[in-house]
Amino acid sequence: MDKTFTVPRFALPRLVARVGKRLPQWPHSLALATALDVARRAGMLPAERVSELEGRTFRVTVLDAGGVADFTVVRGRFRPVLAPAAKPDLHFSANLSAFLQLLARQEDPDTLFFNRQLAIEGDTELGLMAKNMLDAVEWSALDRAPLPAWFKGRLGLRV
């Protein structure tokens, strides 16, 4: 991966969120749960950390895109929640740029939280466990992951 790339702070136009909120949300849940499970299988997420999340429900809201993803952990695997409960155990909400900055490890969750760019609601102990799990992600495991060569090439990984 290109270490010199930085994600700028931005917000999508309000129209995107207005349209996004009217679209079905289950594809977001399916995509996020699948991506997390691929990361788990690739060894990027420590199994002992994932097991601590068993049976808990999570919601991720991308405010400026109008997207919401709900997921849970069942028998050690990430699964989408297609009929979400009114209140999940833990809810993260932020603009797309903040989530991308987290993913790129450009910003840490604490900084975004204290700068009011990331909102975290729900079980604080669960929030700390999720934060520690994200901090433990081993991006180098992507090099060893059983992913198709064309996909690894797009990610800038060794093929």
Task: Kindly report the CATH number that applies to the domain delimited by 14-155.
Answer: 3.30.1050.10
pLDDT tens by residue, the chain, 159 residues? 445 678 899 999 999 999 999 999 999 999 999 999 988 888 888 888 899 999 999 999 999 999 999 999 999 999 999 988 789 999 999 999 999 998 888 898 889 999 999 999 999 899 888 887 877 777 666 566 665 666 556 555 555
Q: Tokens 């979400």 — which residue?
A: 84
Q: Where are the beta strands (DSSP E) in the chain?
A: 57-62, 67-74, 77-80, 90-94, 118-122
Where b means 16+ CB within 10 Å and e means fewer, 4-16 reads eeebeeeebeeeb
Residue 84: CA atoms inside 13 Å, Cβ hemisphere, count?
24
Domain boundaries, the chain: 14-155
